[in-house]
Structure 1
Amino acid sequence: MRMTILAVLLLVLGAAPAIAAPPSIQLAHDAEARWVSFDLTPGNQIRFHMEVNGKPATAILDTGVSVSVASAKFARTAGLRISAKSEADAIGGNVAIGWAAPRAIELGGLKRKGGRIAVADLTAMATGSATPVDMLIGSDILSCCAIDIDYDARRFRILPSGRMPFRGVSAPLSLSRGSKVYVSELTLGRQHIKPVLVDTGDGAAVTVTQSTWKKSGLKPKAVTSAVAYGLGGPIETRLTILPELHVDGLTAHNVELRIEDDMGFSTKTGTLGRIGSAFLQRYRVLLDPHAGHIVFRPGKKVDEVPIRSTSGLLVGLDRDRLRVLHVMKNSPAAHDGWQDGDTICRVDGSPIAGNGLSADTSWSAGPPGEVVKLGMCDGTKRALTLAQFY
């Protein structure tokens, strides 16, 4: 189990420059039967296989991206010519981008010909994986249609807008005026919040701005801190667990909430927060902005309580060791003087056993009162007594 929640989110500002054939999107007559299998990255994003100019690519389904993005490495491999450099806002800061004009992009029963995509350095850290993905598929491609995401079965499909393949609780969904990303609304305590980004590329559950949080009037028993990684780098947020949260007619329980700075990404995108993949994956979800709704049907994880760290160590796998990415505030690790960057080579006497992509870190959320013996990579040893702190 990996305790870090990582986020891929990029908002490209402005229209794509230079000359390109006008984009055209076609859906196959059997699009409903063309399910696309996916897995969830360690950062909670939907990762799948597709084609660009006939070449296979790994991609993230990312409704928080206004213009789809190719990695610079994949763009070179696929023979995409990069031009017209500019910048875009991302979680963690600005990123440099270029532009390219692929002939065709294909996923499931959808095929887009012409148009432009952005090109940027897509880091592995932004998905929590050992290697970066090749593409982020955003609203410029996805918003033409409805997306049926079956998280329990790990598959999605692209449908004509207006289809209703299943019944559930509906909430408003539209495209924002400027960037054309997916937006909805939610209720937090006494505060009705709109617009909020509906972002399948964000691995967290729900995020709101500091000002929005204050207006909600909620006073949870405990608040700690966490870290997220975007294309622009890391950001620190506050973190708590809410007993209840409403998305229009939907009532959700035990929701992990992040509170970000008022000068953070939500403010830059003209929203008050985000609904991310960790929340969406509790349900089967239909995203259909042209029909004006998002539909939720409870899945196997609908009543699942979020995993709480009892150590306060958010870690990532670094070859044969665990590196501390963040020490959560008011946690046992914080009280014991742990620091970001500390490296762990043994847990309870056993070496770190990773598969190159992730390692078992379930000990970091073990039962309160349990003592974990950690061997540091500098040869010292530490004992950490686990406790519930948020």
Structure 2
Amino acid sequence: MEIVKGLILFQGRVNGKPATILLDNGTGRTVVDTIFARQAGIQIGERAGEALTGTARIATFGTGSTVLEVPHAFTMTGELISFDLRPISQALGRQVDAVLGGDATNVMAVMLQPDRNQLSLVSSGSIELNGPDVVRLPLLTGNQVEAAINGHKVNLLIDLGYSGAVKVSEAAWKQIMGRSNVGAAEANSIAADGTVLKSRVAPGDLSIGRISSENAPIASGYVPVGASDGLIGAGFFLKGTSVVDGPARQVVLIVRREAQRPAPLP
């Protein structure tokens, strides 16, 4: 895998044509860029509706039969959706030809090994990690994990298409940080559609299972429908080896002993 501005890219093939693919389990459907699809000989059908990505609504179109293949991992065949992915390509400075969404990632195990620049997409339950540095977390309904920020319980939606670590809704921010913005700085993150999302960031005490970080940067701002309190994104999961196994309903993390406390997130 390649990390570009906090987001995860990898190589695959769409209808036999080499493609750069963005990993984004927060996108419900796998997407192929409309221009790329036509170049790959994929039929583009009628308008299929709208996708809410970042803060924008984008018209989507159905495709004819499409084969998306990640060598040595999986092959998915069927009708996908397409829309213009040029905004994310422009934001990242890299061509993005497709987005692997939750319809694929939620039925397998996704393993990230940033120290090796390696992404593994494998069948559920096929990854066994054990040892004193292994932390296991239950995956709640809606692909959320339970956390605490400044002592307040929150449920955070796993969204690998969010480049930051933790972001909470405005309502959750008021509970966690209070109404004062003293000590908060402005920051930007990139959504999976290329939208630059502005937010406030302030330090907070974050606990997830037995992982804790003092003065972790907590952002506030837009969170998508389905995220009860906020998001936990690639900025968190790329701190070390991590596995998100949807069918097994668990998250597994390997955390370096010296990094477990206190270890501020990026």
Shorter-chain TM band: 0.7 to 0.9
Q: 1:75 aligns with which of 37, 52, 55?
A: 37
Aligned to 2:21: 59
Deviation at 1:275, TM superposition (A): 0.5
Counterpart for residue 235 of structure 1: 197
Cα distance change of structure 1 residues 46 and 127 upon mapping to structure 2, 3 Å threshold: farther
Higher relative contact order, structure no. (Cα contacts within 8 Å, ≥ 6 residues apart): 2
Structure 1 CA distance for aligned equivalents of residues 42 and 181 of structure 2: 50
270 and 81 in structure 1: CA distance in 2 versus 1, 3 angstrom threshold: same
- Determine if contact 1:185/1:193 at 8 Å carries over to the other structure: yes
Q: d(CA) in 1 for partners of 2:214 and 2:226? A: 27
Q: Which residue among 58, 79, 85 is the counterpart of 1:122? A: 85
Distance 1:122 1:208 in 2: 26
Residue number in structure 2 paired with 1:298: 255
| Distance change (3 Å), C-alpha of 1:217 and 1:259 | closer
Cα deviation for residue 198 of structure 1 reads 0.7
Tell whether 2:75 aligns with 1:112. yes
Per the alignment, residue 284 of structure 1 pairs with 241
Cα gap change, 1:123 to 1:103, in 2 (>3 Å): closer
Q: Distance in 2 between matches of 1:295 and 1:220?
A: 34
Find the counterpart in structure 1 of residue 208 from structure 2: 247
Tell me the SS of whatever aligns to 1:274.
Answer: strand
Structure 1 match to 2:98: 135
Distance 1:298 1:108, change over 3 A: farther
TM-score, normalised by the number of residues in structure 2: 0.86
Distance (Å, rounded) in 2 between the aligned partners of 1:84 and 1:299: 50
152-161 or 216-225: which moved more?
216-225
Measure the CA separation in 2 of the matches of 1:127 and 1:275. Answer: 24
Count of residues in Structure 1 that have an aligned counterpart in Structure 2: 258
Rg (Cα) greater in structure: 1
Q: How far has the Cα of 1:269 moved from its partner?
A: 3.2
Matched residue SS, 1:144:
coil
Conservation of the 8 A alpha-carbon contact between 1:148 and 1:286:
yes
In 1, Cα distance between equivalents of 2:60 and 2:22? 18
Name the CA distance, whole Å, in 2 between partners of 1:44 and 1:234.
12
Asked whether the 8 Å contact 1:174–1:184 carries over to 2, the reply is yes
The answer to which structure has the higher strand fraction is 2
Distance across 2 between alignment mates of 1:126 and 1:305: 30
Structure 2 contact 203–217 (Cα < 8 Å) conserved: yes
- What one-letter code is carried by the residue in structure 1 that aligns with 2:137? A
Q: What's the CA shift string for 1:148-172, capped at 9, x where partnerless?
A: 2111111021222123432311112
| Counterpart secondary structure, 1:214 | helix
1:225 aligns with 2:186: yes
Aligned to 2:122: 159
Matched, 1:190 2:143: no
Query: Larger deviation: 112-121 or 152-161?
Result: 112-121
SS of corresponding position for 1:213:
helix
Cα gap change, 1:217 to 1:46, in 2 (>3 Å): closer
Asked if structure 1 preserves the Cα contact closer than 8 Å seen for 2:169 and 2:223, the reply is no
Q: Which amino acid aligns with 1:172?
A: P
**Secondary structure of the equivalent of 2:78?**
coil
Q: Are residue 201 (structure 1) and residue 161 (structure 2) matched?
A: yes
Q: Hey, what does 1:275 align to over in structure 2?
A: 232
Distance 2:111 2:163 in 1: 18
Distance 1:104 1:59 in 2: 13
Structure 1 residues not aligned, in runs of 5+? 1-37, 177-181, 308-390
Structure 2: stretches of 5+ with no match in the other structure: none
Amino acid at match of 2:82: V
Task: Determine which of 79, 87, 103 is the counterpart of 2:50.
Answer: 87
Q: Identity of aligned pairs, percent?
A: 22
